[in-house]
Structure 1
């Protein structure tokens, strides 16, 4: 880089910091204005803002929020090593997230035709569509290559332990890890894309995109369990988000970790490619044996209703287990994992097609769907949640012959913020 490039780069960084500091200084006033319709994360939403989810509150939105139809996850790597620049970025991101979640986009009454628009205008006329924006901090934010870039290594929670390499993992480095994650979820795909574009714009010169994945859920009615691309209902057994005791037990971080993470949660996210063409050729009986549930009703094998209790001891007339020993439902059940549970919040994804090596005979190269599951879960501690459950599933689950984990991320999602604060503020106290 020559001297001219250096000057341009430094000027860009200074301009960004100026905007961020101004936004942070204005945060208390602007945030109070946006927060007026909502008193807390659990209060009822007024009819006039029925398409909005609260941003400010005890917990971040997008965790216990009823799942939306679209999501866009993005992991960032920090370019800066300056603590003040990281804090300025988090302030700017927080203020932008609060604004987008609370107020629909407006047309600039006095646009300057000689300047690039301050807003892309992509969501003008669109409702908030229950937009939530959720932030997470990855292990490398605390220490990377042995360097404590931001003076926070001592505050890394024990629960943010690196995930082990699981049996069958084919993780792509470009789809794994990240210093910070941002996930936008809403009922409108353009709303979530707009939210991430705005975050990327604010990060210019300070952080760069590492990897991203968008996703969607099947059309479903409120209270129904969505289906995945394999045709099965996905997420029948889950931590009930409206049960405070179970959410405290399994999802929200408590006194066991640092204070800055109390009332936050730990998120694991893994894009899982599914061999859909191979799966579609399987007999219905084999599909149901593999999953451990009836395809159309969602009921456990041998039962009639989706939410009937799993009977892991039930056998047929010949003494064979009704729910196969290596079925997905059995291996994922709390009864098979010493009671461990996770809050599952998963989306389908479809990236078009890709050339891959098949995992079944004759193992040739093929162009097929680059599609699958954007698996995501929240828990109080990944070591006793996802890792405990998946170590066994990675070895024995019958679904493994159709699925390949191609990416992975682990992030500490701090608690929600109050108006005038920024996400993760106590980490830097």
Structure 2
């Protein structure tokens, strides 16, 4: 534990509590928007077409329905046709329309409807749909092996991982975010319906209460441990840093070194998902001083110990009256901070989840972590390794699922489709 005992760590918490005051909780995000402009209200539509897919730098909406698919067809043409059909449906649904041209009630009565109907009468609610391609899509089935990006190599096994294979991986993923949970569920349900016979659902996850802000117009939200989450997150206003840390560049290359191997991903990103179950009941019996020492921030204001405000830069050199660091070597904020990893950053947009309770009455709850980055192996992996090896918070959490996906650039117009450059 980097030369500091767990008991000593808890002692540092009290000093941090005394150093900063309490704050208040902002409970609602501001309106959904595309990469550059705010929508007028949470009911409004987010533009679907653009240089980058919506749902990445889009200010995080309130609700999530994430799904990973296994591709069951072995026919490349069928897969392309599915992606074209999905793109057309996504373009419609994100604008508040029904998934198909004839909708839920406008087709032939003897045939299944073009839309499942549960979102009839509901507005677009800021819906965004974002697709990703998993490493397994680049096997021998579709002739894509030579176009697999080098950064799409499997993530390593991290210390303490308790991953469930059935909740991890996937050939394809779709992230649906919206301000209305029924709109997000409707979107995923219709994509699964359209994909019947060509894909099957591997796993899905509902989320609520975003755990990151992706715009400075949004207040920092809280996770189920009660702490503000994602204070140091990348924001859509950080244009230069987005180019450095988020969007894949042409020179990032392919696994075989070919100049044109992964050019299809230029302008895209890499998506990492981790389902992190929290031992809520144990955490709730932990003292406030101990909780704050583990995180390295105050629970009220969210300020790093030794600072007054949430967005004050943590001073990791500052000492307390006893001569020890106010922020312990094993505090979460120190281990995760960009300054501990050569300045690398990620864009996080995770969500809380509660999936009922287990047989002992304990909540099956926690954080569905989502991050976007230019290269997960250079950004996510070093941070997660540090956390897995040293973070005292590991006593209260368990990682049960994991995924890595290449997220293609945006759909330019109605003649384009998700992943077109990959299959060209």
Band of TM-score, shorter chain: 0.7 to 0.9
Q: CA deviation at 1:42?
A: 4.5
d(CA) in 2 for partners of 1:109 and 1:409?
37
d(CA) in 1 for partners of 2:222 and 2:38?
28
Instruction: Name which of 314, 335, 338 aligns with 2:339.
Output: 335
Q: For the structure 1 residues 99 and 107, does the alpha-carbon distance in structure 2 shift closer, same or farther, using more than 3 Å as the test?
A: closer
Mapping for residues 80-229 of structure 1, pairs under 5 Å: 80-105=73-98, 110=106, 112-143=108-139, 148-217=140-209, 223-229=218-224
Matched residue, 1:398: 392
Three-state SS of the structure 2 residue aligned to 1:407 is: strand
Q: Report Cα offsets for 1:86-119 as digits up to 9, x if no partner.
A: 1001001111001101233497675644443322
Q: Is the counterpart of residue 62 in structure 1 residue 55 in structure 2?
A: yes
Instruction: Name which of 285, 308, 318 aligns with 1:304.
Output: 308
Matched residue, 2:25: none
Q: Is the counterpart of residue 423 in structure 1 residue 418 in structure 2?
A: yes
Q: CA deviation at 1:50?
A: 6.5
Q: CA deviation at 1:180?
A: 0.4
Q: Report Cα offsets for 1:324-361 as digits up to 9, x if no partner.
A: 11011000001111111111111001100124xxxxxx
Q: Is the counterpart of residue 383 in structure 1 residue 377 in structure 2?
A: yes
- 5+ residue gaps, structure 1, are 1-39, 356-365
Matched residue, 1:241: 236
Q: Which has the higher contact order (CA 8 A, sep 6+)?
A: 2
Q: CA deviation at 1:230?
A: 0.4
Instruction: Name which of 313, 318, 323 aligns with 1:314.
Output: 318
The question of whether the paired residues in 1 share the 8 Å contact of 2:43 and 2:124 is answered with: no
Compute the TM-score of the two structures, normalised by the length of structure 1. 0.84
Q: For the structure 1 residues 174 and 247, does the alpha-carbon distance in structure 2 shift closer, same or farther, using more than 3 Å as the test?
A: same
Q: For the structure 1 residues 343 and 46, does the alpha-carbon distance in structure 2 shift closer, same or farther, using more than 3 Å as the test?
A: closer
d(CA) in 1 for partners of 2:417 and 2:157?
34
Q: For the structure 1 residues 305 and 423, does the alpha-carbon distance in structure 2 shift closer, same or farther, using more than 3 Å as the test?
A: same
- 5+ residue gaps, structure 2, are 1-32, 254-261
- How many equivalent residue pairs? 376
Matched residue, 2:29: none
d(CA) in 2 for partners of 1:418 and 1:403?
41
Matched residue, 1:10: none
d(CA) in 2 for partners of 1:392 and 1:151?
37
Q: For the structure 1 residues 94 and 218, does the alpha-carbon distance in structure 2 shift closer, same or farther, using more than 3 Å as the test?
A: closer
Higher mean C-alpha displacement, 212-221 vs 113-122: 212-221
The question of whether the paired residues in 1 share the 8 Å contact of 2:55 and 2:130 is answered with: yes
d(CA) in 1 for partners of 2:329 and 2:196?
51
Higher mean C-alpha displacement, 64-73 vs 250-259: 250-259
Three-state SS of the structure 2 residue aligned to 1:372 is: strand
Q: For the structure 1 residues 94 and 109, does the alpha-carbon distance in structure 2 shift closer, same or farther, using more than 3 Å as the test?
A: closer
d(CA) in 2 for partners of 1:48 and 1:317?
49
Matched residue, 1:267: 271
Q: For the structure 1 residues 263 and 57, does the alpha-carbon distance in structure 2 shift closer, same or farther, using more than 3 Å as the test?
A: same
The question of whether the paired residues in 2 share the 8 Å contact of 1:41 and 1:57 is answered with: no
d(CA) in 2 for partners of 1:351 and 1:391?
27
d(CA) in 2 for partners of 1:211 and 1:350?
16
The question of whether the paired residues in 1 share the 8 Å contact of 2:60 and 2:210 is answered with: no
The question of whether the paired residues in 2 share the 8 Å contact of 1:45 and 1:52 is answered with: no
d(CA) in 2 for partners of 1:245 and 1:367?
48
d(CA) in 2 for partners of 1:128 and 1:80?
32
d(CA) in 2 for partners of 1:44 and 1:283?
42
The question of whether the paired residues in 2 share the 8 Å contact of 1:41 and 1:58 is answered with: no
d(CA) in 1 for partners of 2:374 and 2:63?
25
The question of whether the paired residues in 2 share the 8 Å contact of 1:138 and 1:412 is answered with: yes
The question of whether the paired residues in 2 share the 8 Å contact of 1:135 and 1:180 is answered with: yes
Three-state SS of the structure 2 residue aligned to 1:367 is: coil
The question of whether the paired residues in 1 share the 8 Å contact of 2:247 and 2:268 is answered with: yes
Q: For the structure 1 residues 195 and 282, does the alpha-carbon distance in structure 2 shift closer, same or farther, using more than 3 Å as the test?
A: same
